[in-house]
Amino acid sequence: MTPRRTRIAIGLTAAALVLCTNRAPAGTGTVVVVANGANRSLSSSVEHGVTFVSVPDLARALELQTEWDARTRTLVVISGETEAEFIAGNTLVMVGDSTFRLPRGPVLRAGELLAPADALPALFSLLSPAALLWDDRERIFRTPADFGSGARDNVEGDARPNGRNRWEIDRVVIDPGHGGRDPGTLSVEGVPEKDIALAISVRLAQLLRDELGVDVVMTRTDDQSVSLRERGLTAVRAGGKLFVSIHCNAIDKAHVSGVQTYFLSDAETDEARAVARAENAALMYEEHADTLSEGDDREMEEILAGLVSDRFLKESQELAALVQRELVRGLRTRDMGVHQAGFFVMKGTLGAMPSILIETGYLTNQTEAARLRDARYQARIADAILRAVREFKMRYETEPGR
């Protein structure tokens, strides 16, 4: 070996070591995706406590094509007519004609583009029929079959388009958070979340009826206490096709503002779990005897037992992604992302209809609290949700067999 060659060999070894370290830093377990009945490992990296995974690896696991342009550092994921464009360092991902915002820009590691794992299920729901969930604790992507109670196969009369019947989204259930004894969170000036949630909901109901011609069922129309179970029961009994729960957020950091949209899942990040815990605290205010008859209670038990399924997981993710996109666009507020978390109020509805929960802003932020109280701002929130529901309705009603 000439001295020159030796230098090259050492150089390569050093580079390889650096790449290995980047791909699997100490303490980083393997990220696995369980899809199409097979387990596949994905390249991953933990950056500032956030797990990033290889987008091409994930695309391959979902049997999607990819194209990489090293010059522009752009990865295109192709799903039929739809393409998603990931650019290194850019938090915006173009998906078809829409923009999707990642919490952090994709990074290049060992020549591969890695993106934040917890944001990818909602994004990929726009590209692939395989609904994924990110399990932050296990650091694994799962498909619903691995999570599910098996209800998917047992429920008769699937309302989704399946080539036999057309899925008509003709009834939307709106759930104004809290009410009555339960004020929800309080703004700095003491305005309760329950009032803002109701005002936005009433406005949204009117828009959905007028603009889309759909039936709207409200879980409450005034300042009354309604248990979380009763809300789910109302939605399922009414034969709702979508369930939209409206809330305001709270956090112990006064500077934090922005919107978040959630879909139901037991797999969640610590942050999402904290929000779900706060919203589930509404259970504290519930006195079952007051609001729910024994028969209702039994019916709800049955709904919870039989229909706590992930039947509408993919649709819920997709609706959440659309709503989040429109809210960020329409309100010009901070994009706090689409998340999955275990909200009790949606446990009764997810098996029956796509279900989402919207945190329209932070009452703990003085500026945002003032905006949320403003009727014009509430109308803009309702407008944004309307646009998302309209697009969702169009996609599903015009694409039978989807």
Contacts with Zn ion by CB under 5 A lie at 177, 184, 247, 279
Q: How far is the CB of 197 from Zn ion (least distance, A)?
A: 7
When the beta carbons of 106 and 184 are compared against Zn ion, the nearer one is 184
Q: How far is the CB of 30 from Zn ion (least distance, A)?
A: 37
Q: How far is the CB of 193 from Zn ion (least distance, A)?
A: 5
When the beta carbons of 331 and 358 are compared against Zn ion, the nearer one is 358
Q: How far is the CB of 184 from Zn ion (least distance, A)?
A: 4
When the beta carbons of 247 and 314 are compared against Zn ion, the nearer one is 247
Which residue do the tokens 């809330």 mark? 247
When the beta carbons of 63 and 222 are compared against Zn ion, the nearer one is 222
Please give the distance of CA 140 from its chain centroid, rounded to a whole number: 17
Which residue do the tokens 């010009």 mark? 332
Alpha-carbon gap, residue 169 to 214, rounded angstroms = 8
**CB 63, CB 43: distance < 8 Å:** no
**CB 159, CB 236: distance < 8 Å:** no
When the beta carbons of 231 and 241 are compared against Zn ion, the nearer one is 231
Please give the distance of CA 378 from its chain centroid, rounded to a whole number: 21
Cβ partners under 8 Å of residue 102, min gap 6: 91, 92, 93, 115, 116, 119, 123
Q: How far is the CB of 267 from Zn ion (least distance, A)?
A: 21
Dmax (CA) of the chain = 88
Which residue do the tokens 């009414």 mark? 238
Give me 67's structure tokens. Answer: 């194209």
Amino acid at 371: R
When the beta carbons of 102 and 250 are compared against Zn ion, the nearer one is 250
When the beta carbons of 279 and 335 are compared against Zn ion, the nearer one is 279
When the beta carbons of 87 and 199 are compared against Zn ion, the nearer one is 199
Residue whose CB is nearest to Zn ion in the complex, by number: 247
Cβ partners under 8 Å of residue 22, min gap 6: 45, 109, 110
**CB 237, CB 295: distance < 8 Å:** no
Q: How far is the CB of 273 from Zn ion (least distance, A)?
A: 15
Cβ partners under 8 Å of residue 18, min gap 6: none
Closest to 262 (Cα-Cα) out of 371, 185, 192, 344: 344
Q: How far is the CB of 247 from Zn ion (least distance, A)?
A: 3
**CB 15, CB 7: distance < 8 Å:** no
Closest to 225 (Cα-Cα) out of 255, 192, 203, 270: 192
When the beta carbons of 136 and 175 are compared against Zn ion, the nearer one is 175
Q: How far is the CB of 282 from Zn ion (least distance, A)?
A: 7
Q: How far is the CB of 68 from Zn ion (least distance, A)?
A: 43
Any idea what DSSP says for residue 399? S
H/E segment holding residue 25: none
Q: How far is the CB of 365 from Zn ion (least distance, A)?
A: 15
With H, G, I as helix, E, B as strand and everything else as coil, classify residue 54.
Answer: strand
When the beta carbons of 179 and 184 are compared against Zn ion, the nearer one is 184
Any idea what DSSP says for residue 210? I
Please give the distance of CA 368 from its chain centroid, rounded to a whole number: 22
